Structure 1
């Protein structure tokens, strides 16, 4: 387990920013030495923890009814093993920094007597296919199927400019331990990064943008966004990896969030080929309808 993930478990009621601060300041020691957030802990490692004041745990509050309705109405398919959601944009999949309720917390509050666990995750502003398991056995099976080489995870992304690389396989390892203006971002790191593979294929050319089919062979944080920017074509309206001027142009065209949609997941589960799909939401299809196609 990474050191930062371990500390977030130990200091459950401490803000995430505070946890990273005590690591960076050297207050946390692993085997008597300083460590980084990504340091991997092993059996018998000695971890020295500083005294950290934890706020008393607040009583759990129920999500607002309108949020419960928003989550439950996003269910596309329900079986004894899983729920398939067409996750709407702007909805986090789990609670976190500045987010009181994510999709999984809302679901558990709406149906408290049932088991629910996220099979995978999507960025808050990414819409599309999201799988939630309804049993531990189904969770293990779906995660194994999703990580299998036979699985196919396809996204639709509108990127800046005219894509001139044809079908391109982007094999660029990614690292999460980068800070920029106090914000943690992901970057291409050929020395310490984790293997990450995306395949970009142009679908439709527009004036000033290209609609891409993107298939990912790994599931790293911000993978498509970073790989697209690495190719010189950041995802349209991406507030982390694209320029502010370009984002302003997209907002004026009615696109307030990045154009990234998890369109389809194909995997083998319980001996059968399963295809999960989520239609392109109206905010993205409306933007496409307003663009001029290019030859």
Structure 2
């Protein structure tokens, strides 16, 4: 979230269903809640150009008008600084007049405002000052690496969101989990219902909840086992797109992901000492929103995975 000017944010598929105030608490960490309630009451925050109530649920595709908000005392990064971050850390896999596909490193947030001043979307907009439209199609957690797609036209965003809703976009992840699992070409279906909630400090969390949880489905396949069964390499395919879905599903399955500071096992992490969250968005397949061509992208396996896979 830009703290110096009015911005627009189009609600993503996985952001939908939240109260407006809770969404803003997460987007603008560090901003007092009293200030957020004040800008909502005054009409400075709008949904689809209309005044909104703090309790209003945001829906996929809603256009939020967000006024300037001071999220940090730190000086905002300059465009030159953003350009250097782009060139040194983010790899563009594909770009045309409709879409932009990138390989995001672990440690870069997809947008600013969640306790960080620089986000990938702000960086990409700064690199393309003539782009009239540039929005995230989906999200990756800050510590998750891999393929991320952005839309350069509103029509493309609508088309791609429709593919997500209808299960026509294929996302596959590589992850390393604690514990030995039998290697098999057979797929294991994890279908734990997930419920989002907030910690007292406003941070998002997700837990399995049979009462009130959203239906969630992840298919996993065990690819390899390392260190005499201390950890396993797993491929996961998302069938639904819930917040933190893979991380919570593997935790509930009894094999948390290495390096997961929210849902992992810190004591077990001390044994293998992962340098990051071992979760990587490896594969993305979809239909191009303009040409209707089937497109498939694969992101290189991160060095941290390769090092851990070499006993």
Instruction: Give the TM interval when normalised to the shorter protein.
Output: 0.7 to 0.9
Deviates more, 1:90-99 or 1:147-156: 147-156
Deviates more, 1:54-63 or 1:148-157: 54-63
Separation (CA, whole Å) in 2 of partners of 1:261 and 1:93: 15
Which of residues 186, 200, 211 is equivalent to 2:206?
186
Q: Any conservation in 1 of the 2:189–2:217 contact (CA below 8 Å)?
A: yes
2:268 maps to: 246
Distance 1:59 1:141, change over 3 A: farther
Deviates more, 1:73-82 or 1:199-208: 73-82
Which of residues 47, 66, 83 is equivalent to 1:68?
83
Deviates more, 1:103-112 or 1:179-188: 179-188
Instruction: Name the count of aligned residue pairs.
Output: 261
2:134 maps to: 116
Q: Which has the larger radius of gyration?
A: 1
1:227 maps to: 249
Deviates more, 1:172-181 or 1:119-128: 172-181
Deviates more, 1:215-224 or 1:2-11: 2-11
1:92 maps to: 109
Deviates more, 1:211-220 or 1:7-16: 7-16
Distance 1:245 1:77, change over 3 A: same
Separation (CA, whole Å) in 1 of partners of 2:189 and 2:120: 32
1:261 maps to: 280
Q: Any conservation in 1 of the 2:27–2:114 contact (CA below 8 Å)?
A: no
TM-score normalised by structure 2 residue count: 0.73
1:162 maps to: 180
2:11 maps to: none
Distance 1:272 1:193, change over 3 A: same
2:148 maps to: 130
Q: Any conservation in 2 of the 1:88–1:128 contact (CA below 8 Å)?
A: yes
Separation (CA, whole Å) in 2 of partners of 1:203 and 1:121: 25
TM-score normalised by structure 1 residue count: 0.77
Q: Any conservation in 2 of the 1:239–1:247 contact (CA below 8 Å)?
A: no
Tell me the SS of whatever aligns to 1:149: coil
Distance 1:257 1:11, change over 3 A: closer
Q: Any conservation in 2 of the 1:116–1:135 contact (CA below 8 Å)?
A: yes
Distance 1:158 1:81, change over 3 A: same
Tell me the SS of whatever aligns to 2:117: coil
Once the two structures are TM-superposed, the CA of residue 284 in structure 1 deviates from its matched residue by 2.1
1:171 maps to: 191
Q: Which runs of 5+ in 1 are unaligned?
A: 23-37, 43-53
> Cα deviation per residue 1:192-235 (whole Å; 9 max; x = unaligned)?
11111000110111121110010011111110000001000000
Which of residues 111, 115, 119 is equivalent to 1:102?
119
Once the two structures are TM-superposed, the CA of residue 14 in structure 1 deviates from its matched residue by 7.7
> Cα deviation per residue 1:9-67 (whole Å; 9 max; x = unaligned)?
69997846737x98xxxxxxxxxxxxxxx97649xxxxxxxxxxx86999994446454
Once the two structures are TM-superposed, the CA of residue 88 in structure 1 deviates from its matched residue by 0.6
Once the two structures are TM-superposed, the CA of residue 69 in structure 1 deviates from its matched residue by 2.8
1:277 maps to: 298
2:12 maps to: none
Tell me the SS of whatever aligns to 2:97: coil
